[in-house]
Amino acid sequence: MIRPRSSRRLLDRVFQILFPGLLLLLLNGCSSAGYYSQLVGGQLRLLQAREPIDQVIADPARDTQLKAHLAKAREARAFASDHLHLPDNRSYRLYADIGRPFVVWNVFATPEFSLAPRNHCFPIAGCVAYRGYYSQGAARGEAALQRLQGMDVEIGGVEAYSTLGWFNDPILSSMMHWGDERLATLIFHELAHQRFYVKDDTEFNESFATFVEQEGTRQWRASRGLAPGNDQQVRQRDQFIQLILDTRQRLETLYAQPLTAEQMRPRKAAEFERLRADYVQMRDTQWAGDKRYDAWVYAPLNNARLLPFGLYDQWVPAFAALFSREGGDWVAFYAAVEKLGELPIEARKAALKVLAQPKTSVD
């Protein structure tokens, strides 16, 4: 049996040896050189900042609130492997203070009249619908260049990410303002990416990890004798997401029409105004005026701003149905997910659509 390498220094050394060579294979110009160089440098600095959570908790000089959060995270990490059958490695058993609110900033971009993201392809992760930067300034620079090309652009700060098991990912200081439960859900989500990942299918990967996060959190709460989560907040979240997905669908229908740019722009703007109006009606008539999503809705809207919703949530109902079909058995569920992942992408989507269809009872 091959034991996982426990030395952080060894992993750092492997990173230093491996990635410069990989970088040379990837580069095809000065712009690419700068981009991949910041990726390599940012990941290396993150690896060097790691320290074992047990060591932090045992240190009497460390902040007591930090240690309390990490102690809860340690419990959630053990639950992830022991009960959810997620990878049992050193990921999220380490901590890194990165000294900034986000670990990376992702830049999403779409054409003005399309919801198709500008994809970026990498040897490990495959093609994804964004480009990540370890510097907010660099992300803003990339966003400005995309806007000059007529693209719809959105920048999103990311508090954590997974290297898909290539390195032992740490809990980051950017996550420490979260509550204990949200920290647990992040651990479940990111370990799900390590458990299974399909290259070039962001919707599949993120929906799978989101389902594992949601069901894992439900079981995590039950294991601690806690009541189910706030059903009202979950219902509001699901309704809000559906509102966004409905808007996406209407925009896709609009963009398929043979209209000029001058005809398309006001209709596009009208759809975003409809989104705001529908949101206000739902908020005021069904949510008793709860304004938790106001800031998002009233910020400038464009195609790129809608991208993460379709990426993270599209197939969650399908994975929920698959989990139910497998009797709530995590091992059987993962095996079924792997079979789906082996299908060609169009066949995979067709299978997910079938799973997502509501079941009708037969009298």
Report the C-alpha gap between 90 and 85 in whole angstroms. 15
348 inside domain: no
Which residues have C-beta within 8 Å of that of residue 297, sequence separation ≥ 6?
A: 275, 276, 279
Count of domains forming the chain:
1
pTM, full prediction: 0.81
Q: Is residue 77 part of a domain?
A: yes
Q: How many residues does the chain have?
A: 363
Tens place of pLDDT per residue across the chain (363 aa): 223 334 444 444 444 344 444 443 444 444 577 788 888 889 899 999 999 999 999 999 999 999 999 999 999 999 999 999 999 999 999 999 999 999 999 999 999 999 998 888 776 667 778 899 999 999 999 999 999 999 999 999 988 888 888 889 999 999 988 889 999 999 999 999 999 999 888 889 999 999 999 999 999 999 988 877 667 888 898 899 899 989 999 999 999 999 999 999 999 999 999 999 999 999 999 999 999 999 999 999 999 999 888 667 789 999 999 999 999 999 999 999 999 999 999 999 999 999 998 765 444
* CB 146 within 8 Å of CB 107: yes
Instruction: State the DSSP string of 156-225.
Output: EEES----TTSS-PPEEGGGTTS-HHHHHHHHHHHHHHHH---TT-HHHHHHHHHHHHHHHHHHHHHHTT
Does residue 91 form part of some domain? Answer: yes
Q: Is residue 18 part of a domain?
A: yes
SS3 135: coil
Residue 75 belongs to what domain range? 8-182
Judge whether 107 lies within some domain: yes
Task: For residue 294, tell me if it sits in a domain.
Answer: no
